[in-house]
Amino acid sequence: MSGTVILAGVTLAAGSFLGRYLLRNRSVIEKAVKSLPVASAFSKYHRGGFEPKMSRKEAAMILGIPLNAKPNKIKEAHKRIMIANHPDRGGSPYLAAKINEAKDLLDSPRQSN
């Protein structure tokens, strides 16, 4: 019983000191928080949906390959992603269509404007 009272007192004192420290150094803490890099857990992922007309850049992002990837790398990436996302194995038909569209776009010869 007395151990619980002592523990509660120590916890209350520590909380009080922490609160006092935070109040006194609020501006320093705010500056430190603002200087932290803004990165979420999903920062390496592309935000937003698909573009209305798929570009070569978007196709490369979907397949997870560089824009100048060789045809064999495109084929390997397509196969790897389709195995994971095939509609017959519980994947989305929409995503499978986008993956196939990305492969077709990257396989096609580049058109000059």
CA-based max dimension of the chain: 83
As its CATH architecture, domain 56-107 has Orthogonal Bundle (1.10)
- Decide if 69 contacts 77 (C-beta within 8 A): yes
Average pLDDT, the chain: 86
Compute φ and ψ for 111, nearest 5 degrees: -100, 130
Give the integer Cα–Cα distance in Å for 50 and 32: 36
Domain boundaries along the sequence of the chain: 2-35, 56-107
pTM over 0.75: no
CA dihedral over 89, 57, 52, 46, signed as positive or negative: positive
Which range, of 30-44, 65-79, 89-103, averages the lowest pLDDT?
30-44
What pLDDT shows up at residue 42? 52
